[in-house]
Amino acid sequence: MSAALILQTTPWRENADDTALAVVAREVGGIDGIDVAAATADPQRTARVTGVPTVPADLPHLLRSAGHTDTLVVLGGRPLAGRRESLLSLRSLSTLSQAYRAAGRRVAFVDLGVGKLSPRREGTARRLLAGSSLTVLDSAESAARLAAAGLPTPIRVGAHLGWHDLQDLPVRTEGPATFGALVVVDDATLVGGGGPAVLADRIALDLHRAAAGGLLPERLAVQARRPGSAAGADLDAAQSLALGLRAKGLSAAVLPPSPSLRAQRDLLAASARVFAADAETLLAAAAARTPVTPWPTGQRAGGLLAHLGDRGLSAVREQVAAAGEVLDLLVLLLSEGAGTSGHPSHNSALQASRLRPTGVTR
């Protein structure tokens, strides 16, 4: 029997976080002899939404878990960026990693984002990742920062595991779009867009330009992006932007967050155009084949937007394939010592020759 603990360090929950965790649990759950548990900011909600057993994501609980965990997987987030963007400080994460390795456990980092690092944090990050069993970063920018910090190259960059759950076609309804335009916002992207008044000006200008003197969209909505503990702040952001749009003569409804990434994709598929700034919505809109007017405010969103470009379905397929490759590598790592060669992604025997990594895994 092998046990894996999936640690997600973001202080809030996102649908993409839940989807990535559910994908790993579903794929690994098809292998006899592997148990999966998760540690998140909201363990009760995570267990309810994903069905995965959970523990609190604090250092004491995580250290106690080392005695009965074979592999610790830090999945997603920006734990190297500091406490504002992570439940654990970089020092706590280093302590945790050292404890697991000292106990003979494996530690992996998947879909890891890296921001600007001070010289001291560069050294800590380099030591943290140098001994990992698998390292996959979220973007080329993250890889460049770690390479500058002295981590040996090449460094693997992969796609978000949420793509793996969005490869089927979205649910579309007959007739006109449910929303002529849908704006997806959270409190951070609202600030990044210049605040409600500035962003309302920009959206109104874009809508008038697209209408080219014709009729503006009959139905306009502003949606709060994140569920869970962040939903209140995001609903406030959506309400303030809706008020700004109404001041421009645009009637805008306010919508709550979608319950899942797939539900978000289907909502975007029912919209004629999407305005968004975050990577999760850009991902879902691409999978929905819905045009996007972006104002990317983060490193990951900007990188994803540049990669998708105007290539449409081919770029989406690339992301799905890249997510599948990351999942293959993670399943291969977790299945070591489980006494099985079954691989649920392919419903066949796992063969090392089928895995063709483009970078270096540690």
- The kind and range of the H/E element at 335 are helix 313-335
Q: Where in the chain is the domain with CATH 3.40.50.720?
A: 2-166+318-354
CA within 13 Å, CB half, 172: 14
Tokens at 151, concatenated: 């981590």
- Contact assessment for residue 104 and residue 337, using Cβ atoms and an 8 Å cutoff: no
CATH 3.40.50.1980 at 2-166+318-354, yes or no: no
- Contact assessment for residue 336 and residue 343, using Cβ atoms and an 8 Å cutoff: no
DSSP label at residue 118: -
pLDDT in tens, the chain (362 residues): 789 999 999 888 889 999 999 999 988 877 777 899 999 999 999 999 899 999 999 999 999 999 999 999 999 888 887 656 788 888 899 999 999 999 999 999 999 988 888 888 899 999 999 889 999 998 888 999 999 999 988 899 998 998 888 888 776 666 567 888 999 999 988 998 899 999 999 999 988 887 775 656 678 999 999 988 888 999 999 999 999 999 998 989 999 999 999 999 999 999 989 999 888 898 888 888 898 888 866 667 777 777 776 666 778 888 889 999 999 999 999 887 554 433 333 333 333 333 333 333 33
pLDDT at 162: 87
- Contact assessment for residue 89 and residue 97, using Cβ atoms and an 8 Å cutoff: no
pLDDT at 243: 96
- Tracing tokens 């691409």 back to the chain, one arrives at 286
